[in-house]
Amino acid sequence: MSTLASPALKSLQTNIDAPLHQLVADIDILDAVKPLNNVDQKQAFFDNQFSVEPSFIYAKENIDPFKLKRALFNLPLETLKDDDLYTLYLDVIDSYVDKVDQYKSIGSTDFLYDSLRYYGEPSEKDIRNAQFILHLPDDPDDNVGKLQDAQAICQILSSMADQEGYTWQLQMDDSMVANALVSGTKVRINSRAILSHTDSLALAHHELGVHLVTSLNAQSQPLNVLSLGCPLNTMTQEGLAILSEYLSGNLTLKRLKILALRVMAVASMIKDKDFRSTFLLLKEQYGVEDNLAYTITVRVYRGGGYTKDHLYLKGFSMILNAYETEANFNHLLTGKTSLAYLPLISRLISKGVLIEPKYVTPSYKQPVQANAVNRFITHAIR
């Protein structure tokens, strides 16, 4: 298989790629773990002096796990003669089988174990990296500048999207935990978000520069598989996004400390399984103000125990190294890729099965030189 017009590729599109996309395209873990009653539960938690454990509710999902898994395993992968394509589709299907289990356990005690199986947990090295960052003295310049509300943040994102020629949809959301979320080409902004100008720029480079860019590039591919994502693509995608903040000159020490706090919060959640304990750890041991401590805690307890957040710091270190060493680094922007699959993706591009990324992250094209202190800190994360 060497050209996009080959009969083998058309057969793949019809018999495997399109059916796979139809089966799993609606599985969106990030959206599914969003607590519908977060605003009310936060108010109750604060009104009761942090003594009442929040009780979150989630949207009901109508999925038949057995039927879906059977359909996935029935896809005719044995017809694929290209080893790279066979490996890619087999691994993607296996990862979605795990995601189905995770999806159906949202809101139950099983979700934590499914999350651990998929995302893992912080290692001792991850904990040491987080503690290294948290022990650094604060940078007084991190809090300089006018605060931006959600409308002002949207204007910053819109300006970047117009400049880069992105096709996207913007939506305000009053029930989000995160400040922003990209799903396909839809970008949702937390209507309660308030950020500094630097953090707003960082958000634009993170969400649009990587998460939207990789969605747009995936949609331009002749195959849907990179819209679904390589297995365990979260660490790579978030690493790419933090790198985009860094290369744009908007990654602050304050932001790195938040990523480090997420590592500690995940470790606490796994050990204590108690929302209040994790919240008080952030508040009392690390001096985090109440609203931020709550947000970080909700992020790791949503769904029943979501361990994804420990991957940001590790992913950034991994991707920064790849940026400095990998000749085909920009191929990671081809879609929702994983670093482990970069050689395979590059081979499929050379065969003409996949195409080079149409959009390249702005800060990757024109990086800002970091100062000596920031270079030292970021390269000390290993």
pLDDT digits (tens, 9 = 90+) for 349-376: 999 999 999 999 999 999 999 889 899 9
Q: Does 258 map to a domain?
A: yes
Q: Does 271 map to a domain?
A: yes
pLDDT digits (tens, 9 = 90+) for 35-67: 999 999 999 999 999 999 999 999 987 889 999
What share of the chain in percent tops pLDDT 70? Answer: 98
Residue 263 has pLDDT above 60, yes or no: yes
Q: Does 319 map to a domain?
A: yes
What share of the chain in percent tops pLDDT 90? Answer: 87
Q: Does 290 map to a domain?
A: yes
- Angle between helical axes of 372-380 and 311-325 (0-180°, round to 10): 110
Q: Does 19 map to a domain?
A: yes
Confidence of residue 144 (pLDDT cuts 50, 70, 90): low
More confident site: 106 or 143: 106
CA-nearest of 253, 265, 270 to 293 is 265
Spatial distance between the Cα atoms of 254 and 133, rounded to a whole number of angstroms: 10
> pLDDT at position 62, please?
83
What does the block give as tokens for 213?
A: 């860019």
Convert the chain into a string of H (helix), E (strand) and C (coil).
CCCCCCHHHHHHHHHHHHHHHHHHCCCCHHHHCCCCCHHHHHHHHHHCCCCCCCCCCCCCCCCCHHHHHHHHHCCCHHHCCCHHHHHHHHHHHHHHHHHHHHHHCCCCCHHHHHHHHHHCCCCHHHHHHHHHHHCCCCCHHHHCCCEECHHHHHHHHHHHHHHHCCCCEEEEECCCCCCEEEECCEEEEECCCCEEHHHHHHHHHHHHHHHHHHHHHHHCCCCCHHHHCCCCHHHHHHHHHHHHHHHCCCCCHHHHHHHHHHHHHHHHHHHHCCHHHHHHHHHHHCCCCHHHHHHHHHHHHHHHCCHHHHHHHHHHHHHHHHHHHCCCHHHHHHCCCCHHHHHHHHHHHHCCCCCCCCCCCHHHHCCCCCCHHHHHHHHHCC
Q: Does 228 map to a domain?
A: yes
6 contacts: CB under 8 Å, gap ≥ 6: none
> pLDDT at position 323, please?
97
The arithmetic mean of pLDDT across residues 307-334, rounded, is 97
Query: How wide is the angle at C-alpha 144 spanned by C-alphas 139 and 145, nearest 5°?
Result: 155
List, in sequence order, every residue forming a beta bridge with 190; answer none if it has no partner: 173
Q: Does 2 map to a domain?
A: no
pLDDT digits (tens, 9 = 90+) for 187-212: 999 999 999 999 999 999 999 999 99
Residue 190 belongs to what domain range? Answer: 7-380
Q: Does 94 map to a domain?
A: yes
Per the structure, the count of domains in the chain is: 1
